[in-house]
């Protein structure tokens, strides 16, 4: 079992590295460069105090986005199921084509609603971070937070959101027994990142077109 754990985690790491280096090479370089600027580009202690406050706010907004998605999942699951087993399947999105109780056809609404609710969580988080930074800049004047900061800290919020979901799915499960599930969930939660990048690209394109 330990061998399976090691192999699967290595495989997951390879996938993440390939995605970062091959598909998102420029973006990953810019992200790392901005990380160095944010966390290691200042020497005064007051800056890191402000940074800590910002990270706590981003964490709170990610919790809010996760709670929004979770509440919507619970309501839809309650409305589309009539027993506890079906409710658990619909709520956790654990569909399978080999298990009769977990067939997507029996949970058709939730099968399609799951990705849409993930998109809802991403959009809600993006809007919340954007609103926070705009309010901060307006209140204190100047441009304390730029569009790059908006993108960077929202991406951190996405990481928080993925962590919350992994924690939810892996609760009370031994790591070795959950290795395969953990790998699947990690890859599944990358859809949050895909949604975020897609929405941010659309937002950037809209800004360019409007200015043009």
Per DSSP (E only), the strands in the chain are none
Question: What tokens appear for 13 in the block?
Answer: 């790491």
Taking Cα atoms as reference points, which of 189, 191, 184 lies closest to residue 12? 184
**Residue tagged 């993108």 (tokens):** 151
Return d(Cα 64, Cα 72) in angstroms, integer.
Answer: 12
The count of C-alpha atoms lying within 13 angstroms of the C-alpha of 142, restricted to the half-sphere facing its C-beta, is 3
Query: Domain total for the chain?
Result: 1
User: Residue 132 belongs to what domain range?
Assistant: 2-211
pTM: 0.72
| Per-residue model confidence as pLDDT tens for the chain (212 residues) | 556 556 666 776 777 677 666 666 777 777 888 888 888 877 777 788 888 989 999 999 998 998 888 888 888 888 888 888 888 888 777 777 777 777 777 778 888 888 888 888 999 999 999 999 988 888 877 777 888 888 889 989 988 888 887 777 665 555 544 555 666 666 677 777 777 877 777 777 666 555 54
Q: Exposed e or buried b for every residue in 40-79, given b needs 16+ CB within 10 A?
A: eeeeeeeeeeeeeebeebbeebbebbbebbbeebeebbee
């Amino acid at each position: 079992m330990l061998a399976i754990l090691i192999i699967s985690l290595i495989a997951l790491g390879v996938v993440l590295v390939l995605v970062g280096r091959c598909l998102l090479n420029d973006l990953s370089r810019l992200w790392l460069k901005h990380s160095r600027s944010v966390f290691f580009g200042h020497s005064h202690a007051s800056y890191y105090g402000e940074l800590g406050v910002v990270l706590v706010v981003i964490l709170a907004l990610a919790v809010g986005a996760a709670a929004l998605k979770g509440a919507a999942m619970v309501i839809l699951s309650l409305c589309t199921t009539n027993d506890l087993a079906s409710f658990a399947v619909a709520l956790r999105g654990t569909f399978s084509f080999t298990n009769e109780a977990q067939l997507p056809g029996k949970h058709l609404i939730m099968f399609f609603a799951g990705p849409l609710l993930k998109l809802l969580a991403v959009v809600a988080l993006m809007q919340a971070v954007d609103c926070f930074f705009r309010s901060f800049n307006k209140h204190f004047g100047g441009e304390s937070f730029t569009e790059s900061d908006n993108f960077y800290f929202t991406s951190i919020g996405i990481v928080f959101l993925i962590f919350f979901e992994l924690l939810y799915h892996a609760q009370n499960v031994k790591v070795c027994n959950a290795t395969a599930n953990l790998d699947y969930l990690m890859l599944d939660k990358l859809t949050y990142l895909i949604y975020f990048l897609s929405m941010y690209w659309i937002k950037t394109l809209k800004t360019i077109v409007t200015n043009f």
